[in-house]
């Protein structure tokens, strides 16, 4: 048992000068028919590694070469450089939809889409495989003995009551450079009547911006900031497990839910094996690995383990509103729309 687990080697080396890193997950069976699947993704390798490991264990003659990108960097690399791997995985649903709409994805008819929620797939081409609420994480100490805020309104009130205390202490994902930051912020701008006030209050408190959820959660746990707005719920819950002072809030008026999605490019070298991997992601086994061994939350409820998120999901008053993996998301890749949101952002935060 240990013998072949050890054989799953892990090579880490820098691929480009940029913040891209490449990891190799080798399968235990060597042979002439050994195939190395190239996957580009935006998930932290630590979070996704258990899935890769289980895949190469259960599929003979497979290894995975994973290249980690930022969500926006991944999109630009694919659409501009036209460098296509065998599978593309990203939580930036707007970019995934755009790539599919542009005709770059190859359809998969093996996947039983009726078993998936409608919002979690589009055109038999792109499939969501995780369920990730977007949370607000706070440092419990700043609330003191008072009640923990449960929605955006209460968070804003908290800041307004003590503006000096929160000055420079609010963290946001940089919507200009982080794909997920843009997706969640733009989605809020479409959904929330509080968007204007959020912008105003965060601007007034000179919010700081971070390049990803992990960096923001690190800053939160170290006390650099007190409030982390729009972080990945799965990461936030993982951090909260280790840092007791962190509280994770799923805003009760609505909590956006994003789904990491995967598709096989039309120009992939190994289309068949690519689809095989996507099918594995959605299989009960793949979903169970996500639930048990990774910090990510599986899409299919049947494989979850009664954690906080799945309990909330089942609740009749569930605040979760999944963002639909569908055509309207291409509006969130619209250049004019971006310019408008950036202008508002600049006016609020960088005056």
Binding site for other proteins (CB under 8 A): 100-103, 122-123, 190, 326-328, 330-331, 334-337, 340
68: three-class secondary structure by DSSP = strand
For the chain, what's the residue count?
351
Between 123 and 288, name the residue whose CB sits nearer to other proteins: 123
The distance of closest approach from Cβ of residue 132 to other proteins in the complex, given in angstroms and rounded to an integer, is 22
Between 213 and 326, name the residue whose CB sits nearer to other proteins: 326
Residue 189: count of CB within 10 angstroms of its CB = 19
DSSP string, 209-236: EESSHHHHHHHHHTTS-SEEEEEEHHHH
Joined together, the tokens standing for residue 213 give 């959820």
Between 48 and 341, name the residue whose CB sits nearer to other proteins: 341
- In sign, the C-alpha dihedral spanning 229, 257, 304, 235 is negative
The distance of closest approach from Cβ of residue 101 to other proteins in the complex, given in angstroms and rounded to an integer, is 5
DSSP state, residue 114: G
The distance of closest approach from Cβ of residue 340 to other proteins in the complex, given in angstroms and rounded to an integer, is 6
- CB of 349 closer than 8 Å to CB of 173: no
Classify the phi-psi angles of 203: left when phi > 0, otherwise alpha if psi is within -120 to 50, otherwise beta: alpha
Between 75 and 239, name the residue whose CB sits nearer to other proteins: 75
Between 100 and 281, name the residue whose CB sits nearer to other proteins: 100
End-to-end CA distance of the chain: 60
Between 112 and 145, name the residue whose CB sits nearer to other proteins: 112
Joined together, the tokens standing for residue 91 give 């939580």
Between 46 and 102, name the residue whose CB sits nearer to other proteins: 102
Question: What value does the CA radius of gyration of the chain take, rounded to a whole number of Å?
Answer: 20
The distance of closest approach from Cβ of residue 153 to other proteins in the complex, given in angstroms and rounded to an integer, is 23
Between 61 and 123, name the residue whose CB sits nearer to other proteins: 123
- In sign, the C-alpha dihedral spanning 94, 327, 129, 13 is negative
What is the rounded CA–CA span in Å between residue 194 and residue 351? 21
The distance of closest approach from Cβ of residue 248 to other proteins in the complex, given in angstroms and rounded to an integer, is 29
Cα-Cα-Cα-Cα dihedral of 259, 277, 290, 139, to 10°?
A: -40
The distance of closest approach from Cβ of residue 230 to other proteins in the complex, given in angstroms and rounded to an integer, is 19
- CB of 235 closer than 8 Å to CB of 139: no
Among residues 72, 82, 86, the alpha carbon closest in space to that of 338 is found at 72
Between 136 and 175, name the residue whose CB sits nearer to other proteins: 175
The distance of closest approach from Cβ of residue 118 to other proteins in the complex, given in angstroms and rounded to an integer, is 8
Among residues 305, 300, 273, the alpha carbon closest in space to that of 287 is found at 300
The distance of closest approach from Cβ of residue 339 to other proteins in the complex, given in angstroms and rounded to an integer, is 8
Q: Provide φ and ψ at 256, rounded to 5°.
A: -65, 145
The distance of closest approach from Cβ of residue 200 to other proteins in the complex, given in angstroms and rounded to an integer, is 19
């Amino acid at each position: 048992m240990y013998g072949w687990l050890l054989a799953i080697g892990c090579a880490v080396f820098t691929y480009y000068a940029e913040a891209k890193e490449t990891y190799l997950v080798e399968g235990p069976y060597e042979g002439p028919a050994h195939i190395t699947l190239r996957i580009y993704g935006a998930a932290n390798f630590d979070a996704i590694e258990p899935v890769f490991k289980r895949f190469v264990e259960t599929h003979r003659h497979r290894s995975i070469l994973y290249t980690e990108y930022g969500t926006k960097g991944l999109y630009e690399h694919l659409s501009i450089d036209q460098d296509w791997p065998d599978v593309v995985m990203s939580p930036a649903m707007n970019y995934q939809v755009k790539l599919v709409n542009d005709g770059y994805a190859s359809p998969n008819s093996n996947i039983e889409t009726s078993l998936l929620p409608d919002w979690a797939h589009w055109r038999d081409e792109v499939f969501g495989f995780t369920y990730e609420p977007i949370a607000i994480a706070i440092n419990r100490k700043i609330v003191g003995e008072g009640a923990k805020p449960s929605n955006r309104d209460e968070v804003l009130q908290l800041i307004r009551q003590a503006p000096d205390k929160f000055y420079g202490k609010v963290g946001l994902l940089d919507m200009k450079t982080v794909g997920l930051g843009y997706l969640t912020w733009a989605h809020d701008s479409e959904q929330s009547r509080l968007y204007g006030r959020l912008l105003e209050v965060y601007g007034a408190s000179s919010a700081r911006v971070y390049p990803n959820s992990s960096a923001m959660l690190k800053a939160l746990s170290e006390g650099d900031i007190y409030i982390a707005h729009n972080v990945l719920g799965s990461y936030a819950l993982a951090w909260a497990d280790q840092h007791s002072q962190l509280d994770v809030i799923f805003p009760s008026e609505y909590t956006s839910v994003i789904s990491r999605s995967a598709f096989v490019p039309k120009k992939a070298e190994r289309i068949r094996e690519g689809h095989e991997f996507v099918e594995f992601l959605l299989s009960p086994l793949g979903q169970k690995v996500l639930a048990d061994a990774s910090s990510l939350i599986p899409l299919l409820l049947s494989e979850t383990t009664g954690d906080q998120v799945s309990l909330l999901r089942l609740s009749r008053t569930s605040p979760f509103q999944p963002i639909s993996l569908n055509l309207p998301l291409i509006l969130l890749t619209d250049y004019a729309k971006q310019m408008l949101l950036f202008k508002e952002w600049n006016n609020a935060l960088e005056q």
